[in-house]
Amino acid sequence: MVKVDDYEILEGLYYSKDWAWVKIEDGKVRVGITDYAQKQLKEIVFTELPNVGDEVVQGEPYGTVESVKS
């Protein structure tokens, strides 16, 4: 892990310019939002993501995250 200012940047992840990350492990993909995004959003109140096994298209939106501060 690398720390920049008050934000953690984890190793082994692929980061997007939109404050998301992807981890590929054993043929499975895990996605999340960065520490920066979490701190900016404050309280996340809703998420909508694909079901396990659903196909997503690279470069296309695949879900929604809503927060009190959005």
pLDDT, one tens digit per residue, over 19-28 is 889 999 998 8
Count up the domains in the chain and report the number. Answer: 1
Say whether pLDDT at 70 is over 60: no
**Residue 38, CA distances (Å) to 1, 18, 25, 70 in order:** 17, 12, 23, 11
Q: SS3 letters for the chain? A: CEEECCEEECCCCEECCCCEEEEEECCEEEEEECHHHHHHHCCEEEEECCCCCCCCCCCCCCCEEEECCC
CATH number, residue 28? 2.40.50.100
* pLDDT tens digits, one per residue of 41-68: 989 999 999 998 899 898 888 899 999 8
pTM above threshold 0.75? no
| Domain housing 8 | 2-67
CA 60/CA 63 separation, integer angstroms: 10
